[in-house]
Amino acid sequence: MRKSLEYYLNLKYKVIIEELLEDDGGGFEAYIKEFGRYTCNGYGETPEEAYQDVVDYKEDLIERWYKEGKTIPEPEKEEISFTGKFTLRVPVELHAELSKCAKENDISFNQYCTYLLSKNLTYFQMLSEIKKAHAPVVPINDMKINIESNDNKSVNEDYQEDILTSA
């Protein structure tokens, strides 16, 4: 049995808000990850405006998808609690090497493994942020454009240049 429209409209989705660079127009962007960053987003001069914009759009989007019979993603369920303990199986050689390094650093095996995990987690989080910040940007002048007329003949490059400079 299909869930009601009200069910979907009342779901609590996590809204992610990010500040935009001045080169991108400034302000703030808000989006809902479960719907796709570029499917359900909102903008505003303040975080509150961006939040309200995305919430309003979310409601319209859910109503449209519901009427069209499309699948509406539900919020990700977060883990209720973590104990700080987990079991990890590693090769015997790695276990021995980790133990040796912990002793050389005069710390417990647990402290050493925690140190390595946190150090590498931080590294990969920073690397991810750097990659996002340095996404390749292609200037419009460098784009290869093939414009065709109605009779399928390519339009000359001078016309293409006029289009690029008038945009």
Answer for the pair 53, 43: CB distance below 8 angstroms, yes or no.
yes
Question: 23: pLDDT confidence band, cut at 50, 70 and 90?
Answer: confident
User: What distance in Å separates the CA atoms of residue 160 and residue 144, rounded to the nearest whole number?
Assistant: 10
User: What distance in Å separates the CA atoms of residue 20 and residue 50, rounded to the nearest whole number?
Assistant: 11
24-81 pLDDT per residue, tens = 888 999 999 899 878 888 999 999 999 999 999 999 999 999 999 999 999 987 766 7
Q: Quickly count: other Cβ atoms within 10 Å of residue 57's Cβ.
A: 19
Q: What is the pLDDT of residue 166?
A: 44
Q: Is the pTM of this model over 0.85?
A: no
Q: Token pair of 167, please?
A: 């945009």
78-135 pLDDT per residue, tens = 766 778 888 889 999 999 999 999 999 999 999 999 999 988 888 888 887 777 676 5
Instruction: For residue 38, give the DSSP letter.
Output: T
Q: Looking up tokens 């109503």, which residue turns up? A: 63
Average pLDDT of 6-28?
Answer: 90
* 159 Cβ contact list (under 8 Å, min separation 6): 147
Q: Token pair of 42, please?
A: 């909102």
Which stretches within 72-156 are classed as H helix? 92-104, 109-133
User: What distance in Å separates the CA atoms of residue 17 and residue 105, rounded to the nearest whole number?
Assistant: 41
